[in-house]
Amino acid sequence: MLSRWRQVKEGGGQVALISGEPGIGKSRLVLALRERIQGESKALLSYACSPHHANSALFPFVTQLERAAGFAPDDAPEARLDKLESLFQEPAACPDNAVALFADLLGIHIGSRHALAAMSPLQKKGLLFSAFLAQLEGLAVRGPVLVVLEDEPAGARAGPVSGRAGDR
Ligand SMILES: Nc1ncnc2c1ncn2[C@@H]1O[C@H](COP(=O)(O)OP(=O)(O)O)[C@@H](O)[C@H]1O
Ligand SMILES: [Mg+2]
């Protein structure tokens, strides 16, 4: 894993799959990796699937976004929108409607600040994946990025992102 990480730091995208029985220490291994490389990356993203949200393919993205934006339980919708906007001011390569799409995903009422064109759920999902990848790209131009997708089988429909993200 560390030699893969070295290759990532040299600019070569890597995808590593760790699979095995529950309890053999996969999460622990990833935690150890995170601790070892902490000072070497400003972007350690973690997407964890949950058996309780198996019907919600984007659940890991929702929780990662909420964590990254720093939402507090009692934030008003405007405060959440502010936090979401500041999250996306940093990485430059971000589609115009990303904030509106992410706000919609997070269930934040966007009101008149961002218009989201009417579209089918499938179109929305396609645009969301593109926005996530653009966000990732924005981070990747600034330095090495570690993305952890945990327990992916429970949310296998989010799978196409991991393959496309590896190319970034
Ligand atoms: N190398 C290790 N040394 C000590 N305890 C470990 C080690 N690897 C895993 N464990 C412990 O075993 C349990 C299961 O590990 P975990 O990483 O959650 O497994 P998995 O993600 O494969 O289901 C956890 O309580 C973890 O702390
Ligand atoms: Mg685990």
How does pLDDT run across 21-79, given as a tens digit for each residue? 999 999 999 999 999 999 998 888 888 887 777 777 788 888 888 998 999 999 998 89
| DSSP characters over the chain | -HHHHHHHHTT---------STTSSHHHHHHHHHHHHGGG-SEEEEEE--GGGTT-TTHHHHHHHHHHHT--TT--HHHHHHHHHHHHHSSS---TTHHHHHHHHTT---TTTS------HHHHHHHHHHHHHHHHHHHHTTS-EEEEEESGGGGGGGHHHHHHHHH-
Nearest CA to ligand 1 atom 14: 23
pLDDT tens digit sequence for 5-16: 999 999 888 999
Residue 124 is encoded by which pair of tokens? 């929305």
CB 160 within 8 A of CB 57: no
d(CA 28, CA 53): 22
Ligand nearest to the CA of 21: 1
What is the reported pLDDT for 133?
A: 84
d(CA 18, CA 13): 17
**Structural domain boundaries, residue 162:** 2-167
What is the reported pLDDT for 158?
A: 46
**Which residue out of 18, 28, 36 has the highest number of ligand 1 atoms within 8 Å of its CB and is therefore the one to mutate?**
28
> What spacing in Å lies between the alpha carbon of 28 and ligand 1's midpoint?
5
pLDDT tens digit sequence for 114-167: 667 778 888 888 888 888 888 788 888 889 999 998 876 544 544 555 555 656
| Percent helix, strand and coil across the chain, each to the nearest 5 | 55, 5, 35
Per the structure, how many domains does the chain have?
1
> What spacing in Å lies between the alpha carbon of 21 and ligand 2's midpoint?
9
Nearest CA to ligand 1 atom 17: 25
